[in-house]
């Protein structure tokens, strides 16, 4: 299983992996294979544990999104990492390819997002709206190619479909987004969103640690020179 889910780091408290695209973070009603269950089984076999394995998700990625994910191997680590997320100590950076050429090299996007639970769609508003939650991100334009822009995104809030909904709201939906960029997306096209880096304070060692991974050289990532040379810094 480790060959299917690459391990980036492991110790007594942390497990950091590269989540494959189109894999669930956690089991749902579909019954499809999910990251958490597969990793629990892997650890059970690796350490020959007779009972249940403790492993907790610290954060989640949407099914079509691949990249760095952090899991806690102890309840102490889970509690401390969850506190880091609440206090904005736990930092997440994403790479995305969006339609169009962004005018600003760096910008902050601020919207108010409301999720429709029946359709699982998020609506973005410019101003405060009843039932909508504030969503904030910062993006940096890294490179352009033809009709696409490669951006690095820093989340300041962790809302459902935040990156996808916010870029769609400013007229630059993500490449391959079946929900928020339907008019520009072919059926079956892969979403161009990748969890590039996670930076955190180790829950027991108290030192700053950063983990990164890069998307595979396929469409549309293969269009960009900086990705080919791994020239993007966290």
Within 13 Å of residue 28, how many CA atoms lie on the same side as its CB?
8
Residue 209 CB-density burial (10 A; 0-12 exposed, 13-18 middle, 19+ buried): middle
Catalytic residue at 62? yes
d(CA 22, CA 191): 9
Could you tell me the two tokens for 93? 């950076």
Could you tell me the two tokens for 172? 């630059």
Question: Given the structure tokens 């007779």, which residue do they identify?
Answer: 50
- Sequence-distant (6+) residues with CB within 8 A of 109 are 135, 136, 137, 138, 139, 166, 167, 169, 170
Residue 205 CB-density burial (10 A; 0-12 exposed, 13-18 middle, 19+ buried): exposed
> If you count DSSP H runs as helices and E runs as strands, how many of each does the chain have, helices first?
4, 11
CA angle 131, 91, 110 (to 5 degrees): 35
Largest Cα separation within the chain, whole Å, is: 57
Q: What is the DSSP letter of 56?
A: E
Could you tell me the two tokens for 142? 């890294």
Catalytic residue, candidates 28, 34, 62, 177? 62
Q: Known catalytic residues?
A: 62
């Amino acid at each position: 299983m480790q060959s299917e889910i690459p391990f980036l780091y492991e110790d007594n408290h942390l497990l950091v992996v590269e989540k494959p695209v189109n894999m669930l973070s956690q089991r749902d009603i579909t019954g499809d294979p999910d990251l958490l269950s597969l990793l629990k089984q892997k650890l059970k076999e690796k350490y020959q544990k007779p009972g249940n394995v403790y492993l907790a998700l610290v954060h989640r990625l949407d099914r079509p999104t691949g990249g760095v994910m952090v899991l806690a191997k102890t309840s102490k680590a889970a509690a401390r990492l969850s506190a880091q997320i609440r206090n904005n100590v736990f930092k997440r950076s994403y790479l995305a390819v969006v339609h169009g050429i962004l005018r600003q090299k760096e910008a902050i996007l601020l919207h108010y997002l409301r999720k429709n639970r029946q359709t699982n769609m998020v609506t973005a508003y410019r101003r405060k709206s009843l039932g909508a939650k504030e969503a904030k991100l910062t993006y940096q334009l890294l490179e352009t190619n033809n009709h696409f822009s490669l951006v690095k995104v820093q989340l300041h809030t962790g809302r459902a479909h935040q990156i996808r909904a916010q870029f769609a709201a400013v007229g630059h939906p993500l490449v391959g987004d079946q929900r928020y960029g339907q008019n520009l997306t072919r059926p079956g096209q892969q979403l161009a969103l990748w969890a590039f880096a996670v930076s955190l304070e180790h829950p027991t060692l108290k030192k700053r640690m950063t983990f990164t991974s890069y998307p595979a050289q396929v469409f549309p990532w293969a269009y960009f020179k900086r990705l080919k040379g791994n020239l993007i810094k966290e």
